[in-house]
Amino acid sequence: MKKKVYIISFIIFIIDLLSKILVLGIDKTPITIINNFFYINKIFNTGAAFSLFTGNNFILIIIAIAVLIYIDRKVIDDIKSKISVISISMLIGGIIGNLFDRIVYGKVIDFLSFKFGTYSFPVFNLADTFICIGIFLLIVDFLRGDLNGNKSR
């Protein structure tokens, strides 16, 4: 199971990395994809989600490494479902994607920008998306297991 998780995680990391390489090649942003809704807007974020902990790159690197070690040592061996394989893989791939940016560039490359009327959602990247979907799937898998009376986790 561990091997499968790491293969999927690597694929997710590569997808994130390629998306960021493409965005780095763009000279001018924002680029309108869907007017008044979706834009490619390259920004560099030294913080975490929603720019929390801005300027604390070293601490965020340590936290990411600690989470990856925890997942490797405490979580992967307990995976019991296909949805858990996908969710943990998405978490690992996303965390490594943003960790790579922090180590190589000293900041994270964000580029997905959405507007809803006058509200602009904080700009994010594919790694962030994979992390959020991974967490959501873990919650669903946990609740599904509890609803089915499977509390062996």
Indicate which residues carry an active-site annotation. Answer: 110, 128
How many Å apart are CA 150 and CA 80, to the nearest integer? 11
Q: Could you give the CA distance from residue 39 to residue 112 in angstroms, rounded to a whole number?
A: 6
Do the bridges between strand 38-45 and strand 119-120 make them parallel or antiparallel, or are there none, so unpaired?
unpaired
> What is the C-alpha separation between 64 and 152, in angstroms, rounded?
28
Structure tokens at 77: 């061996």
End-to-end CA distance of the chain: 16
User: What distance in Å separates the CA atoms of residue 51 and residue 42, rounded to the nearest whole number?
Assistant: 15
